[in-house]
Structure 1
Amino acid sequence: MDEKHIMEMLKDYKSGKLEEEEVISKLKKLPYEDIDYAKIDNHRSLRRGYGEVVYCAGKTPEQTANIFQRMLCGRGRVLGTRADIKTYEEVKAKAHDAVYHKDARAITVIREDIDKNKGLILIATGGTSDIPVAEEAAITAEFMGNTVERLYDVGVAGIHRLLMNTDKLYSASVIIAVAGMEGALASVIGGLADCPVIAVPTSVGYGANFGGLSALLTMLNSCSSGIGVVNIDNGFGAGCLAAMINRDRK
Structure 2
Amino acid sequence: MSEEIRLDFQRPDRIGFDEAILCARKSDEQLATIMDRVLERGARCLMSRLELGVFARIAPRYLEKLDYDPVSRTAYLNWTPSTLEERPLIAVVSAGSSDMPQAAETIRTLTYLGAPTKQFIDIGVAGLWRLLERVEELRTFPVIVAVAGMDGALPSVLGGLVPGAIICLPTSTGYGVANGGETALHAALASCAPGLTVVNIDNGYGAACAAFRILSMIRQTGTSPLERGPQ
Equivalent in 143, 161, 168 of residue 174 of structure 1: 143
Q: Which residue of 2 aligns with 1:24?
A: none
The 8 Å contact of residues 201 and 231 in structure 1, kept in 2 or not, is answered as: yes
Shift of 1:61: 2.6
- Within 5 A, what are the aligned runs for 1:11-90? 35-89=2-56, 90=58
Structure 2 residue identity aligned to 1:46? D
The answer as to 2:204 corresponding to 1:235 is yes
Query: TM-score when scaled to structure 1?
Result: 0.81
DSSP 3-state at the match of 1:172: coil
The answer as to 2:166 corresponding to 1:197 is yes
Q: Which residue of 2 aligns with 1:100?
A: 68
The 8 Å contact of residues 119 and 173 in structure 1, kept in 2 or not, is answered as: no
Structure 1 residue identity aligned to 2:114? G
Aligned counterparts of 1:105 and 1:173: Cα–Cα separation in 2:
27
Aligned counterparts of 2:127 and 2:191: Cα–Cα separation in 1:
20
Aligned counterparts of 2:155 and 2:164: Cα–Cα separation in 1:
12
DSSP 3-state at the match of 2:156: helix
Aligned counterparts of 2:171 and 2:203: Cα–Cα separation in 1:
8
The 8 Å contact of residues 22 and 48 in structure 2, kept in 1 or not, is answered as: yes
The 8 Å contact of residues 172 and 180 in structure 2, kept in 1 or not, is answered as: yes
Shift of 1:111: 3.8
Structure 2 residue identity aligned to 1:105? R
Shift of 1:168: 2.7
Aligned counterparts of 1:244 and 1:126: Cα–Cα separation in 2:
24
Cα 1:63/1:155, change in 2 over 3 Å? same
The 8 Å contact of residues 62 and 87 in structure 1, kept in 2 or not, is answered as: no
The answer as to 2:124 corresponding to 1:133 is no
Structure 2 unmatched ranges of 5 or more: 223-231
Q: Percent identity?
A: 37
The answer as to 2:104 corresponding to 1:153 is no
Structure 1 unmatched ranges of 5 or more: 1-33
Aligned counterparts of 2:32 and 2:110: Cα–Cα separation in 1:
23
Cα 1:114/1:214, change in 2 over 3 Å? same
How many equivalent residue pairs?
Answer: 217
Q: Which residue of 2 aligns with 1:214?
A: 183
Equivalent in 154, 178, 192 of residue 185 of structure 1: 154
Q: Deviations over 1:139-171 (max 9, x none)?
A: 111111101111011111111111111133122
Q: Which residue of 2 aligns with 1:164?
A: 133
Query: TM-score when scaled to structure 2?
Result: 0.87
The 8 Å contact of residues 53 and 80 in structure 1, kept in 2 or not, is answered as: yes
- Structure number with larger C-alpha Rg: 1
Shift of 1:109: 2.4
